Amino acid sequence: MSREPIPARISTSSKVLVERQFLVTVTEPVAIAIVGVGKIARDQHLPSIASNARFRLAATASRHGGVDGVENFETIDTLLSARSDVQAVALCQPPQVRFEAAAKAIRAGRHVLLEKPPGATIAEVETLVAMARSQGVSLFATWHSRFATGVEPTREWLKGKTVRRVAVTWKEDVRRWHPGQAWIWEPGGLGVFDPGINALSIVTAILPPVHVTRATLEFPEGRDAPIAAQLTFAGESGFSATADFDWRQTGPQTWDIEVETDEGRLVLSKGGAEMLVDGKAVLADSDQEYAGIYRRFAELIEAGESDIDLSPLVHVADAFMLGRRSVVEPFED
């Protein structure tokens, strides 16, 4: 992989920060390492890397076991020290420890992919943005739900229409998706906003800007993160928007975004994989979210750009700032 400096260019919008640092010509697969080989890495990252010819899994760093046939290191420090050939890292640890790992990788000149949420705080991610700019590496704050099949067609369908009402219903079973993962109940773990932020990443991609005006957060007794949340939003466009997040749902899971407009009712269902207009399915497809993430990461590395959008995390931070706290019955995995 060769790298040719080009003039810096910063393109900003209300949602996405993209920074051009270098023009990179990829002549062979990018050697990438996964840091944190847990459930999400095994379920999504490993298959997506394996199916993308622009990447080669070169190493892992994990205290809980690596990948057969791939060198594993106990820490990211030993990985970065021993493997100068690793050009990029995908950070899949809990958000509370991600900043330190990302900072070390950036200082070592490696491109960095951040699992969602990109950090435990907004300020730490902004620090990483400045570091990546200084080091001339690509930083990608991923929002996997934005790569669901129906998200871009929904955004296109909504163009030119007047949005009147939005209702987000995002309910799932924490025991199914995060079994025994204590970090999600600790400060910085986000609780129900770990899945809820997926919905917010779609909302911020398809709708005009909104802001949180009211929130109720339900904390299980003895826990430091909420298990349910109800949010109300407002924006300059004047439409009403609500979000109902719950981590106690068993049986079928619910991941729906309903948008009423002056020209019909759209429902983005199954986490964005299915799109219905006035009750009729117009699009349905399988899960391709993480494949989309790695396609995008390859594009960023090749173009010498970074892609960081903090708007979903801003909504979560605002919900915690405005939220009325309610203590509910204890919850145990």
CATH class of the region 17-144+290-308: alpha beta
* Rounded Cα–Cα distance for residues 84 and 129 (Å): 22
The pair of structure tokens assigned to 6 is 């080009």
- Whole-model pTM: value is 0.90
Residues that are catalytic? 116
- Contacts of residue 123, defined as CB under 8 A and 6 or more positions apart, other chains included, come to none
Can you give the pLDDT at residue 16?
A: 44
Can you give the pLDDT at residue 141?
A: 98
Which residues of the chain carry a pLDDT beneath 70?
1-27, 284, 286
219 alpha-carbon distance from chain centroid: 23
Can you give the pLDDT at residue 99?
A: 98
Can you give the pLDDT at residue 24?
A: 47
Distances (CA, A) of 131 to 87, 141, 230: 16, 14, 35
Can you give the pLDDT at residue 129?
A: 98
**Do 144 and 293 meet the contact criterion of CB atoms below 8 Å apart?**
yes
Residue carrying the six token digits 């699992």: 115
Considering only CA atoms, which of 140, 327, 124, 115 is closest in space to residue 216? 327
Considering only CA atoms, which of 29, 64, 33 is closest in space to residue 46? 33
50 alpha-carbon distance from chain centroid: 20
Radius of gyration of the chain (CA): 20
Q: What is the pLDDT of residues 14-73, one digit of tens each?
A: 344 444 444 445 569 999 999 999 999 999 999 999 999 999 999 999 988 899 999 999
For the domain made up of 149-285+318-328, give the CATH fold.
Dihydrodipicolinate Reductase; domain 2 (3.30.360)
Handedness of CA 40, 115, 307, 132 (dihedral sign): negative
Task: Cite the residue boundaries of each domain of the chain with CATH code 3.30.360.10.
Answer: 149-285+318-328
Distances (CA, A) of 88 to 71, 200, 333: 15, 27, 34
* Rounded Cα–Cα distance for residues 24 and 8 (Å): 14
Can you give the pLDDT at residue 1?
A: 42
Pairing type for strands 264-269 and 254-261 reads: antiparallel
Peptide bond connecting 153 to the previous residue in cis, omega within 30 degrees of 0: no
The number of beta carbons lying within 10 Å of the beta carbon of residue 103 is 16
Can you give the pLDDT at residue 332?
A: 86
Task: Cite the residue boundaries of each domain of the chain with CATH code 3.40.50.720.
Answer: 17-144+290-308
* Rounded Cα–Cα distance for residues 36 and 90 (Å): 9
